[in-house]
Structure 1
């Protein structure tokens, strides 16, 4: 997988503050996606989509409080 890292200015962090930070994105072209956002206040947001379609999402506030920790499975139809 090839990843890219980019900075951003003044986005709303999970704590509500508008701060700068960085975003790291990876995509293997076959269904595996990773998005990792780190805010300068210390908040962190992570999203991983796996080859089977399931997705893991975590959002952590700068004080360590976990705001979201979710694993969703692919829906079979």
Structure 2
């Protein structure tokens, strides 16, 4: 898999601050997709989609507080 990283200047982070950061996207072309967003304040959002259609989403504030840790169990048919 080859990933791409792009910077952004101002977006609202999970903590509410408007800060810059970077977005990383990776796709294997067969169903696995990774999207990671890292804000300059330290907040992070991680979304991984899997071949079976399930999705893992984690959102963590810069202070370490987990705001969301979810695994969807939906399977593509």
TM-score band by shorter chain is over 0.9
Q: Give the paired residue count.
A: 77
SS in structure 2 opposite 1:15? coil
Give the TM-score taking structure 2 as reference length. Answer: 0.95
User: Considering only aligned residues, what root-mean-square deviation do their CA atoms show, in Å?
Assistant: 1.2
**Per-residue deviation at 1:8?**
0.3
Counterpart of 2:55 in structure 1 is: 55
For residue 75 of structure 1, report the CA deviation from its aligned partner. Answer: 4.3
Q: CA deviation at 1:73?
A: 1.2
What is the 5 A alignment of 1:17-32? 17-32=17-32
In structure 1, the residue matched to 2:5 is 5
What is the rounded CA distance, in whole Å, between the counterparts of 1:43 and 1:14 in structure 2?
A: 6
Consecutive unaligned residues of structure 1, counting only runs of 5 or more, are: none
Q: Which runs of 5+ in 2 are unaligned?
A: none
**Partner residue in 1 for 2:67:** 67
TM-score in terms of structure 1 length: 0.95
Q: Name segments (4+ residues, structure 1) moved above 4 Å.
A: none
- How many Å separate the matches in 2 of 1:75 and 1:62? 32
